[in-house]
Structure 1
Amino acid sequence: MAGTAREKQLIQEGPAIVLVEPQLGENIGMVARAMANFGLAELRIVNPRDGWPSDKARAAASKADHVIDGVSVFASLPEAIADLNYVIATTARERDGFKPVRGPVEAGRILRERFVGGQKTGILFGRERFGLYNDEVGLADEIVTFPVNPAFASLNIAQAVLLMSYEWMKSGLESETQTAFEGPRMDPAPKASLQGLFDHLEEALSVRGYFRPPTKKPKMVDNLRAVLTRPGFAEAEIKVLRGVISSLDYFSPKEPRGAAYPERKATADAKTHAADGAKSGERDCE
């Protein structure tokens, strides 16, 4: 399956996800998939409406079989959380009571701290239609709620699990901006390469009368160089730009690349070879 690397270590740790009276097997499967994406594996289900096991749940889990195979089913919520040291309940509605209310980022960090301390933790998620009852929220230590549109606050159960699973995973990273892989490292090109780009572009533009009136050329050149120095081009990027300029400079619709050897191209190549020859001669004399 795309994005799945079976040769890599499978992370299976963290808080238990507790679903209270979920209705559809498909939703349970999507919850399992969200958990697997972010390294959670312990799924507890309280009184599922359509029973358990569920072929629909396994199909919707998209190969998160380790989560589905490890599901524990309980008849009541107190039984499902009996062995846990710390439990948070998710809700989108304001509740009467004295429980602390956390955002998902802070909740993820607290869960991580308690996990590192050896405690068993869990996150409660309610029914698809109306969430958790007040007495069920009362069994939790704290409440977590998401910063959502107040006029449209209801989340799909798999979405809610995904958000908390993501915050759990992020809380264990060395940096919250860390990613699974990185783009290629490209060091800034040496100034000689950048100067070559400047000279090439300036010459190509001069031939085409870009610098008008001539008195404004110094300022126009300064502006071009200011634009081109800002990105911090790598050597490979400068080569791409030089190729583009060459194509526009030496060739035309009437003389496209491959059809002829334009005079300006021949002159530029001769100048380049002469410069390379001079450098080679200097090295031979050393």
Structure 2
Amino acid sequence: MSKNAKINDAARLSDIVPPAVILCEPQLGENIGTAARAMANFGWVDLRIVNPRDGWPSEKARAAASRADHVIDKVQVFDSLEAAIADLTFVFATTARSREVPKPVCSPDEAAQKVVQSGVSGLPTGYIFGRERWGLNNEEVALADEIVTLPVDPDFASLNIAQAVLVCAYEWRKTATAGALPFRLDEELHPPAVKEDVVRLFEHLESALDEVTFFRPPERRPHMVRTLRNIFQKAELTEQEVRALRGVIAALERRETRPRRSDKDDNEA
């Protein structure tokens, strides 16, 4: 992040309880670690694992978490899914396949609305994610309140665990913060240019172009001037950018230019 950028306080969360992530029988420590990293990106910290194939703790998971140690250090391991969700008030099962389980189905953004509302009230919620190879079984889906699925291509619907966690976590945080971004350009350090300075830039540029007979034929000059001015207006120039452009024009004005070919030369070519 640029040293000129300030953190937007609206992007921070302190009073909304984030959901738990429950991984059912994950096979690889690396997948647990990348899921933990995705959680940390969006402020989720409660990672629960049901019967990890390679046991726990896992150095491969910690390495793949890429410094999301605060998530890895708090991991809870359970022998059953029932035990992993016992303290939660509302649970989503994530799946990309149609099930013979009569459950409401919603998208990640719709699920985020419910989870954020519960989190504001301090109620614990969670998302259940299935195995790498075949996801959740019907008995596990039956333990959830609703199903959340992503608008993926039906002919290639499989996501890895971290991808699925990332999408759900992203939608949750976007909802929880009303889409607030962590930073924007600091306008105190880069204030927009006042119109007087912008007009002087236009006049400087147009004068320099007149010197090199850029506007040809002359009757086209007003139209070409409007076009150039519109181009720069779209840029929403800052004071610093206007000064830089004036410097560029000044440097070009002092440059030795090649003589233009005459109309006679053009005819002889």
Q: TM-score range by the shorter chain?
A: 0.7 to 0.9
Do residues 138 (structure 1) and 142 (structure 2) align? Answer: yes
Which of 75, 81, 86 does residue 71 from structure 1 map onto?
75
The offset of 1:154, in angstroms, is 0.5
Bigger relative CO (Cα 8 Å, ≥ 6 apart): 2
Deviates more, 1:151-160 or 1:222-231: 222-231
Deviation beyond 2 Å, 4+ runs, structure 1: 9-13, 186-192, 211-235
Query: Cα 1:205–1:154, aligned 2, differ >3 Å: closer, same or farther?
Result: same
TM-score (norm 2): 0.83
Quick one: which of 230, 234, 245 aligns to 1:241? Answer: 245
Q: State the shift of 1:234 in Å.
A: 2.4
Question: Among the aligned pairs, what percent are the same residue?
Answer: 56
- Tell me which moved more, 188-197 or 199-208: 188-197
1:15-74, CA deviations, whole angstroms, 9 ceiling, x for partnerless residues?
111111111111111111111121111111111111112222122222222222211111
- Normalised to the residue count of structure 1, the TM-score between the two structures is 0.79
CA-based RMSD: 2.1
Contact kept in structure 2, 1:43 and 1:67, CA below 8 Å = yes
| Structure 2 stretches lacking a partner, 5+ long | 1-11, 259-269
Question: Superposition pairs for residues 13-162 of structure 1, below 5 Å?
Answer: 13-162=17-166
1:207 aligns with 2:227: no
The whole-number CA distance in structure 2 between the counterparts of 1:219 and 1:164 is 51
Report the structure number with the largest CA radius of gyration.
Answer: 1
Rate the CA distance shift 1:88–1:218 in 2: closer, same or farther, 3 A.
closer
Match of 1:272 in 2: none
Matched residue pairs, number?
244
CA separation in 2, counterparts of 1:195 and 1:63? 50
- Counterpart contact for 2:17–2:119, Cα < 8 Å: no
CA contact (8 A) 2:26 2:130 kept: yes
* Range with greater deviation from structure 2 (129-138 or 111-120): 111-120
Match of 1:181? 183
Q: Distance in 2 between matches of 1:82 and 1:226?
A: 62
Task: Give secondary structure in 2 for the equivalent of 1:251.
Answer: coil
Name 2:261's counterpart in structure 1.
none
User: Shift of the alpha carbon at 1:10?
Assistant: 9.8
Aligned residue for 1:284?
Answer: none
The answer to whether the 8 Å contact 2:192/2:239 transfers is yes
Say which is worse superposed, 55-64 or 87-96, in terms of deviation.
Answer: 55-64
| Cross-structure match for 2:168 | 164
Q: Distance between the aligned counterparts of 1:28 and 1:221, measured in 2?
A: 59
Secondary structure of residue in 1 paired with 2:27 = coil
Q: Residue 55 of structure 2: SS of its match in structure 1?
A: coil
State the 1:216 CA deviation.
Answer: 3.2
Flag structure 1 segments of 5+ consecutive residues without an equivalent: 1-8, 255-286
Distance 1:60 1:245 in 2: 51
Counterpart Cα distance in 1 of 2:120 and 2:196: 52
Question: Is contact 2:17-2:122 (8 Å) kept?
Answer: no
**How far does the alpha carbon of each residue in 1:88-120 deviate from its partner, in whole angstroms, 9 at most, with x for none?**
000010112321111001111110101112222
Alignment partners' CA distance in 1, 2:175 and 2:183: 18
Taking the aligned partners of 1:76 and 1:142, their CA distance within structure 2 comes to 19
